[in-house]
Amino acid sequence: MCAMPTMTLSKGAVDFINDEKLTSLIENTREDASRVREVLAKSMEKKALQVEETAVLLAAENPELVEEIFECARELKRKVYGNRIVLFAPLYIGNDCVNDCKYCAFRHSNKDAVRRTLTDAEIVQQVEALENVGHKRLILVYGEHPKYDAEYIAHTVRKVYETKVGRGEIRRVNINAAPMDHAGYRLVKEAGIGTYQIFQETYHHATYANYHPKGTRKGDFMWRLDGLSRAFEAECDDMGIGALFGLHDWRFEVLSLVTHSLHLQQRYNVGPHTISFPRLQPAHMVNLDQKWLVSDYNFKRLVAILRLSVPYTGMILTARESPKLRREIMSFGVSQIDAGSRIEIGGYTEAGDTQCMEREQFALGDIRSLDEVMRELLQDNYIPSFCTACYRLGRTGEHFMEFAIPGFIQNFCTPNALTTLEEYLVDYASPETRTVGEKIIARELAGIKDEKIKAEAADRLRRIKETDDRDLIF
């Protein structure tokens, strides 16, 4: 039975996106090097920026000034997140969809799309395939359809948590699904979701109306904009926002993401846990206006400026982008990436080495294996992490903000990153990846300042190598 959601908005819901104000900020903020440096100084103190301040950074065009922005973003990432990068994989559960988003191959009117929903047995099969290469964190993705109601989504989340093979298990299940009502959010929360992620796609009202036809479920701008506020009221306090870059002016979307983040912070005292900035990709039977496509250079600018505007929010860079660009942009403030991703339904066991456009939502730029991505991260001196400790110990929402402070990273995040990396190296890595990984672990362990924590971490790393002990979290 599919329950239709009620259409009740959050308490005192408001449309907090003022198109005229944001457009005017973009048009009327002139490049000013000394203002840029003042704003950068504020960011470097890890203070969230106001939209007017973000607009100052967006107005910087001079390449040398832009380079200063890039350098500050790199520095801020090092200060707040260190060199850890969290890894996850998307798992598409079903692509039936009642909406008709013009950019998406799953849209209702694309009669060529191969439609499929994984059966429970197929979910188990896909999860086992993901666990067998070492994944610990997934994001489940669904089209919008009455059959993917909150009850069904909760069921699939439970199925994923139940599936364990060998030493493999999924320790955190996030979801990217259409907005729900309060009761729906409570159901998925009870099933143990981590982050509830939803992208506004574009925050610009007229553009939104153009891409999401009236009369479709997604055609209701406000229902979607208010989605995370309802989630919060239903105690899903771990939220991910995002915009699909390429539908409207990228600077407008950046200002809107900052506005959304400030709105959640002011209203609920909790900002978003993550921001995503997917860029429009080619998709089967999709032919779009190219006017607002974002160049690689501007993409780098937007990632850096978002990093500087919302210092404590995780930033997700997806496999839509090419390996080369991902490698470069990683240092600008990214904290999470997906790897070894397949987005065809059933793709982890059926897709082989090529992409099949009729079966996927859009084309991926990076389909390297998890092991290959891990090796590259290690060679670039990152610590790839599968840590899920904060969420599992209740350090989310308000608490997450509290803990995202220096010292916490040294004493909790780094040791947890190292033990989860060790699990990967021992249980799943290729010999080449293991060799480079062990070197990084030795170096990072030596760098832990607190002697008690260092000794405890060393002991845990030894237990992982010598015994079956796993999931040893700080």
Tokens representing 113 are 């799309």
Angle (CA) 49 337 285, round 5°: 100
Q: Which does 244 bind (CB under 5 to 8 A by kind): ligand SF4, ligand SAM, none?
A: ligand SAM
Determine the Cα–Cα distance for residues 461 and 470; give it in Å rounded to an integer.
Answer: 10
Q: Phi/psi at 169 (nearest 5 deg)?
A: -160, 155
List 106, 196, 400, 412, residue binding ligand SF4 (CB under 6 A):
106
> Quick one: 223 or 424, whose CB is closer to ligand SAM?
223
Q: Does 90 bind ligand SF4 (CB under 6 A)?
A: no
Nearest to 10 by CA among 179, 151, 174: 179
The listed partner (ligand SF4, ligand SAM, none) that binds 107, CB under 5 to 8 Å by sort, is: ligand SF4
Residue 99 binds ligand SF4, judged by CB under 6 A: yes
Which C-beta is closer to ligand SAM: that of 286 or that of 390? Answer: 286
Closer residue to ligand SAM (CB): 98 or 458:
98
Residue type, 5: P
* Residue indicated by tokens 């790897």: 339
Using the minimum distance from each CB to ligand SF4, give the nearer residue, 99 or 202: 99
Residue 177 touches which of ligand SAM, ligand SF4, none (Cβ within 5-8 Å per kind): ligand SAM
278 binds, among ligand SF4, ligand SAM, none (CB under 5 to 8 A by kind): ligand SAM
Q: In this complex, which beta carbon is closest to ligand SF4, that of residue 90 or of residue 397?
A: 90
Q: How far is the CB of 317 from ligand SAM (least distance, A)?
A: 13
Query: What whole-number distance in Å separates Cα of residue 271 and Cα of residue 266?
Result: 8
> Minimum distance between the CB of residue 365 and ligand SAM, rounded to whole angstroms?
10
* Backbone phi, psi, residue 350, to 5°: -115, -15
Identify the H or E element spanning 94: strand 84-94
CA distance 107 to 118: 18
Kindly state whether residue 104 participates in binding ligand SF4, applying the rule CB under 6 A: yes
143 binds ligand SF4 (CB under 6 A): yes
Q: Does 344 bind ligand SF4 (CB under 6 A)?
A: no
Q: How many other β-carbons are positioned within 10 Å of the β-carbon of residue 103?
A: 20
Residue 415 lies near ligand SF4 (rule: CB under 6 A):
no
Note the residues at the interface with ligand SAM (CB under 6 A).
Answer: 103-104, 141-144, 176-178, 198-199, 201, 244, 278, 280-281, 283, 286, 320, 361-362
C-beta of 53: minimal distance to ligand SAM in Å? 27
Looking at the Cβ atoms of 106 and 292, the one nearer to ligand SF4 is 106
Using the structure block, give the residue that is written with the tokens 């229902």. 223
Residue 279 carries which DSSP code? Answer: B
| Minimum CB–partner distance for residue 247 and ligand SAM (Å) | 9
- Number of residues counted as binding ligand SF4 (CB under 6 A): 9
Identity of the residue, 96 or 372, whose beta carbon is nearer to ligand SF4 in the bound complex: 96
Phi, psi (5° rounding) for residue 138?
-125, 155
**Burial code of 127-139, b = ≥16 C-beta within 10 A, e = fewer?**
bbbbbebbbbbbb
275 forms bridges with which residues in the sheet? 241, 315
Q: Does 218 bind ligand SF4 (CB under 6 A)?
A: yes
Name the minimum Å distance from CB 148 to ligand SAM: 9
Length of the chain: 474
The residues that bridge with 337 in the sheet, in sequence order, are 87, 317
Angstrom distances, CA of residue 310 to CA of 305, 329, 343, 453: 9, 17, 29, 30
User: CA-to-CA distance for 270 and 229, rounded, in angstroms?
Assistant: 11
Looking at the Cβ atoms of 53 and 321, the one nearer to ligand SAM is: 321
Residue closer to ligand SF4, measured from CB, 360 or 371 = 360
> Whole-number minimum distance, CB 216 to ligand SAM, in Å?
11
Q: At what angle do helices 451-466 and 431-447 cross, to 10 degrees?
A: 160
Our finding on whether 5 is near ligand SF4 (CB under 6 A) is no
Binding partner of 315, given ligand SF4, ligand SAM, none, CB within 5-8 angstroms per partner class: none
* Binding residues for ligand SF4 (CB under 6 A): 97, 99, 101, 104, 106-107, 143-144, 218
